[in-house]
Amino acid sequence: MKRKKWGITFAALTILSAGCADGAGENEEETDNSDVETTLTFWNRLPELESQFSSFIEDFEEKHPEIAVEMENLGASGNQQFQTAINNDELPDIFVRANVMPVRQLKEQGQIKNLNEVFTDEVRGQFRDEVWQENFTVLGEDVYQLPLYSGKSSVMMYYNKDVLGKFGISEDEVPETWEELKQVSMQINEESNGSIYGLTLGAEASWLSDLFMKQMGTSINPEMHTSIEVAKNVNYKDGEVNLATDANIEIMNYLKDLQESNALDPESVENDELTAISNFAAGRAAFFFGGNWDGSILVNEETGPGFENWGVAPMPTKNGHPYYADSLTKEGLMVSEYTENWEEVQTFLHYFIEHGYTDVVAGSGAHQTALNVEVSEEDAPFPQYNDITSILDETSIQVPDPYLRNNDTIGAIQDYQGGLSYSVGAMLRGYLQGEINDPKAELMKAEEEAVDSFESAIEGNENVSREDFIYENWTPFEPYTRDDMEELE
Amino acid sequence: MAASKTNKTNLTKSWNRWAVVFLMPQTIVFFGLSLYPIIMSYVYSFYSWDGASPLDDFVGLSNYVELFQTPRFWGSFLHTIYYVFGTTIIAVGVSLILAVILNTKQFKGKAFYRTIYFLPVVTTTAIIGVIMNNIFGVNGLVNQTIQTIGIIQQPVPWLSDSSLAMLILIAVGAWKSLGMNMIYWLSGLQSIPTELYESAQLDGAGFWRTLFHVTLPLLKPILAVILLLSIVNGMHAFDLVKTLTNGDPYNSTETLDLYVFNYAFGGGTDGTISRMGYASAAGVMLGIFTLIISVIFGGLNMLTQRKSNKHANGRVI
């Protein structure tokens, strides 16, 4: 009897394991390729480059049949995946940098490989000068990240030509000031009997609101830089944290006024970036504030609405004055220190440098390339690409870099930003939803919290002082170079 | 005699071995996937840790001190209480009414209605959240319908107004757990001996009198179980909140579980940084709150039972 029972258990386990083994065998058979000697793992977390990376990898595998690349596109849980991989020393061979940990910390923990072998002086010379940024692409003289984009990035105003045409508004009449935007938007809403709005936002993506408010705000408070990653809300003229600025208060009140005048799409507070883009493309609104990458989403038929009849202009500002955005080379490819296929990885990186910037980065039209690549009108991925690029060139400017001035500010900034509970973008949304009655008071409250966090971060990092955040020789709207930094020292 | 004793001992040994075999996987899973993370979350809560760096920055109780001084944490605690209270009252009450109706002999199509009410239970919560988010959006089905009928001119901000958003969250949460509670109630109702109903009928008791004097008193033990499960489930509301309101508007529907998630995995495009240590402290507090509420509830339940036992004994005497 006893034997019988054990026998049944054994048989059951055998069937189960046989089942597992069969499955594994099939998979192996499916992926079996006699030429492949090495398989590289690659994590991509940039949705705008997914399809371009896929076809690039196909080309690469065709040219290098001995190397296969397994790409995984990371979704919303990408950060958790990175955290786990870092904890277990299991980062893939190649990966797009995640916002989980500063580059210096990744290097200190022995997670990322020095790429100096790939980036010889000759190779580095092919890239735009501004892409070699401390704690993003380089640490001192050493390269740790292959930069994908030039770092130029800004929010602009997209306009729907179909909607403008319907209400007799020409492209020359695209608003440049707040008042003009309000008037045009009210006109559209009235003439459409309330079915079409002037402006739509993706305010659910509070980071996007944060970005456009900071950038628009530089036309009122130019001394407030616009980065949300480096020393957020720190005034580089006096080294103080400011949230309750005139710019923030005025922008919040202006958008509330647009909402109350039916100039702003009420759905804006519930929409994320992609839904707002779809609404804009569907003709629900004439204008949309989006990043330079949104042009590639608009024309994309698979991941976007596949809409072509649009134009792009700088965002309107209070008095039509220009605005600027920080230029920061954040995104790039990194290599795991634990890779066992360093030679093959180098082959991949070299191939990317040779072909990737035209095929992947310029091909997507989402960003300007880190490598000096001229994209002619015929080669542009879509007709508006060069318009976006020229707005980027006008608006995106290098600002002081505390990381370059003092490497220890990396830890301090991480401590400071870890103590922030509220973003200006989230507050704007709260105000538009009626959850905040007095934006100034709410901004003051958030400022108090941010000041405390900033001061304790400075106290907790002995080699860092407020002086590291004061740049007396910086003139907003003028590029701040390494020479300026040296002059300051 | 001795042979039979030996056989019995062998049989017991064999059964014990089988018991160990069957208990082992569950025990391993419990220690590895439940107990270990619980213990580690206590450990992490004493560190300033981003979830990926080495665990070397011991900060003592400072995460807890910061937590207690943060209005957003207490706000999320309050929202959790609202959610627990709202979903428990609605889901437990309505499911009892449904179970009583579906338990009546004369009612036709019982199986159909039971399936309909049980469907939300087997549907993935996140999918329900996403669908309800679309239905109650500014241009969602509800607004479109009532605007078409002409009840309202402007869309109702169901999910952009804090009170309405919380009401929708509670209503959807209650609807989701209605089916499961109904099954518990039905099992309780069907365990009541039919003789009791026959005696009550012979004594001339009508529907309501039978309900209040026979059915409900006998359902008290099952009520305690349903209440406890509803409270504990409500305390851990996450997937529905994340997909339906995502804590909006302006954190007014952020529950404790979502608060923990937001701080644990906050790193991302808005430049915020993951604070696993702080989130662990919030998670520990969530566990403690759940324990306290469960103990209070268990104590109250015990007191009520003792009281009713005393009352029943007094009657017998």
Q: What is the ipTM of this complex?
A: 0.80
| pTM greater than 0.90 (yes/no) | no
| B101 Cβ contact partners less than 8 Å away, ≥ 6 residues apart | B107
Kindly identify which residue of chain B lies nearest to residue A105, measuring between CA atoms: B53
User: Cβ of A100 and B267 within 8 Å?
Assistant: yes
CA distance B78 to B253: 9
Q: Which of A46, A48, A83, A449 to mutate to test the interface with B (most CBs of B within 10 A)?
A: A83
Angle at B122 between CA B118 and CA B126, to 5 degrees: 125
Size of interface A-B (CB pairs under 8 A): 100
CA distance B12 to A17: 30
pLDDT digits (tens, 9 = 90+) for B110-154: 889 888 999 999 999 999 999 999 999 988 999 999 999 988 888
| A1 Cβ contact partners less than 8 Å away, ≥ 6 residues apart | none
Both A459 and A441 in one domain: the answer is yes
CA distance A149 to A131: 8
Q: According to the model, what pLDDT value does residue A455 have?
A: 96
Domain boundaries along the sequence of chain B? 64-309
Q: Does residue A355 lie in a domain region?
A: yes
**pLDDT exceeds 70 at position A230:** yes
% of chain B at pLDDT higher than 70 = 94
Q: According to the model, what pLDDT value does residue A20 have?
A: 42
User: Cβ of A87 and B51 within 8 Å?
Assistant: yes
Q: Does residue A378 lie in a domain region?
A: no
Q: According to the model, what pLDDT value does residue A330 have?
A: 86
Both A264 and A308 in one domain: the answer is yes
Q: According to the model, what pLDDT value does residue B272 have?
A: 62
**pLDDT exceeds 50 at position B269:** no
Q: Which two tokens stand for residue A220?
A: 């009122």
Peptide bond into B249 cis (omega under 30): yes
Q: A110 — contact with chain B (CB < 8 Å)?
A: no
**pLDDT exceeds 80 at position B248:** yes
Q: Does residue A17 lie in a domain region?
A: no
Q: Which two tokens stand for residue A166?
A: 């319907």
**pLDDT exceeds 70 at position A383:** yes
Q: According to the model, what pLDDT value does residue A17 have?
A: 43
End-of-domain residue from the set A366, A389, A422: A366
End-of-domain residue from the set A340, A366, A392: A366
User: Cβ of B249 and A433 within 8 Å?
Assistant: yes
Q: According to the model, what pLDDT value does residue A26 have?
A: 40
Counting the structural domains of chain A, the total is: 2
Both A309 and A342 in one domain: the answer is no
CA distance A228 to A225: 9
Can you say whether the dihedral through the CA atoms of A162, A163, A165, A166 is positive or negative? positive
Q: Which two tokens stand for residue A80?
A: 């958790």
pLDDT digits (tens, 9 = 90+) for A263-288: 999 999 999 999 999 999 999 999 99
**Contact indicator for B171, B245 with CB cutoff of 8 Å:** no
Both A42 and A140 in one domain: the answer is yes
Residues of B with Cβ-Cβ distance to A429 under 8 angstroms: 248-250
**Contact indicator for A234, A446 with CB cutoff of 8 Å:** no
Q: Which two tokens stand for residue B213?
A: 């004097």
CATH number at residue A91: 3.40.190.10
Both A321 and A455 in one domain: the answer is yes
pLDDT digits (tens, 9 = 90+) for A418-427: 888 888 999 9
User: Cβ of A417 and B271 within 8 Å?
Assistant: yes
3-state secondary structure chain A: CHHHHHHHHHHHHHHHHHHHHHHHHHHHHHHCCCCCCEEEEEEECCHHHHHHHHHHHHHHHHHCCCEEEEEEECCCCHHHHHHHHHHCCCCCCEEECCCCCCHHHHHHCCCECCCCCCCCHHHHHCECHHHCCECCCEECCEECCEECECCCCCEEEEEEHHHHHHCCCCHHHCCCEHHHHHHHHHHHHHHCCCCCEEEECCCCCHHHHHHHHHHHHCCCCCCECCCCCCCCCEECCCCCECCCCHHHHHHHHHHHHHHHCCCECHHHHCCCHHHHHHHHHCCCEEEEEEECCHHHHHHCCCCCCCCCCEEEECCCECCCCCCCEECCCCCEEEEECCCCCHHHHHHHHHHHHHHHHHHHHHHHCCCCECECCCCCCCCCCCCCHHHHHHHHHHHEECCCCHHHHCCCHHHHHHHHHHCCCCCHHHHHHHHHCCCCCCHHHHHHHHHHHHHHHHHHHHHHCCCCCHHHHCCCCCCCCCCCCHHHHHHHC
% of chain A at pLDDT higher than 70 = 93
Q: According to the model, what pLDDT value does residue A315 have?
A: 98
Residues of A with Cβ-Cβ distance to B54 under 8 angstroms: 109
Which among A270, A414, A420 has the least Cβ separation from residue B137? A270
Q: Does residue A267 lie in a domain region?
A: yes
Q: Does residue A1 lie in a domain region?
A: no
Both A140 and A245 in one domain: the answer is no
Q: Residue A368's closest CA among A401, A399, A327, A333?
A: A327
Q: A195 — contact with chain B (CB < 8 Å)?
A: no
**pLDDT-derived band of residue B285, with 50, 70 and 90 as boundaries?**
very high
Which among B137, B249, B274 has the least Cβ separation from residue A83? B274
Domain B64-309 CATH class label: mainly alpha
Cα→Cα distances A464→A165, A483, B313, Å: 56, 22, 75
**pLDDT-derived band of residue A18, with 50, 70 and 90 as boundaries?**
very low
Q: Does residue A313 lie in a domain region?
A: yes
CA distance A391 to A373: 17
**pLDDT-derived band of residue A27, with 50, 70 and 90 as boundaries?**
very low
**pLDDT-derived band of residue A13, with 50, 70 and 90 as boundaries?**
very low
Q: According to the model, what pLDDT value does residue A25 have?
A: 40
Q: According to the model, what pLDDT value does residue B281 have?
A: 96
Q: According to the model, what pLDDT value does residue A120 have?
A: 95
Kindly identify which residue of chain B lies nearest to residue A210, measuring between CA atoms: B270
Type of residue at A94: I
Q: According to the model, what pLDDT value does residue B201 have?
A: 87
Q: Does residue A444 lie in a domain region?
A: yes
Both A125 and A171 in one domain: the answer is no
The range of the structural domain enclosing residue A125 comes to: 32-147+332-366
What is Dmax (Cα atoms) for chain A? 92
Residues of B with Cβ-Cβ distance to A270 under 8 angstroms: 137-138, 159-160
Between the CA atoms of A260, A266, A272 and A275, what dihedral angle is there, to the nearest 10 degrees? -140
CA distance A95 to A348: 12
% of chain A at pLDDT higher than 90 = 77
Q: According to the model, what pLDDT value does residue B314 have?
A: 64
pLDDT digits (tens, 9 = 90+) for A189-204: 999 999 999 999 999 9
Rounded to an integer, the average pLDDT of B80-90 is: 96
Both A304 and A419 in one domain: the answer is yes
**pLDDT-derived band of residue B105, with 50, 70 and 90 as boundaries?**
confident
Weakest mean pLDDT among B31-45, B174-188, B254-268: B254-268
**pLDDT exceeds 50 at position B297:** yes
Both A54 and A176 in one domain: the answer is no
Residues of B with Cβ-Cβ distance to A436 under 8 angstroms: 250
